[in-house]
């Protein structure tokens, strides 16, 4: 997913059910990841990563309204079922990269 979460915000604003249904149908093909780099800024890299991860998780796992600075408006979280969240964040990586030894 990396930096494409903003596209998901935008698309879910246009057609919420279609985006949610896509994740439910293809959850075994989606892998959470980020391309946050290490830069010298006010927040440490760990804080920046945590904030981004939490925002992404909130969008996928809850149905809360949240401000998306990526599209400049509020979006509603997708509230995906827990087993799908587990696949996106862990199980798919474990299945796709078995030699890493999760």
Tens digits of residue pLDDT in 16-43: 999 999 999 999 999 998 777 666 555 5
**In whole angstroms, what is the distance from residue 70 CA to residue 12 CA?**
13
> 3 pLDDT exceeds 90?
no
5-14 helix and 16-25 helix, angle to the nearest 10 degrees: 130
Residue whose pair of structure tokens reads 């006010």 in the numeric block: 42
pLDDT of amino acid 37: 65
Interval 33-84: pLDDT, tens: 877 766 655 556 678 788 888 999 999 999 999 998 878 899 999 999 999 9
pTM: 0.83
| Inter-residue contact 12 to 36 (CB < 8 Å) | no
For the chain, what are the domain ranges? 2-100
CA pair distance 46, 31, nearest whole angstrom: 20
């Amino acid at each position: 997913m990396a930096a494409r979460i903003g596209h998901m915000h935008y698309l879910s604003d246009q057609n919420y059910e279609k985006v949610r249904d896509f994740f439910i149908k293809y959850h075994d093909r989606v892998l959470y990841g980020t391309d946050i780099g290490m830069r010298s800024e006010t927040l440490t890299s760990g804080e920046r990563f945590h904030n981004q991860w939490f925002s992404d998780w909130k969008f996928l796992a809850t149905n809360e309204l949240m401000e998306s600075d990526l599209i400049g408006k509020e979006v509603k979280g997708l509230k995906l079922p827990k087993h799908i969240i587990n696949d996106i964040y862990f199980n798919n990586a474990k299945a796709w990269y078995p030699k890493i030894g999760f």
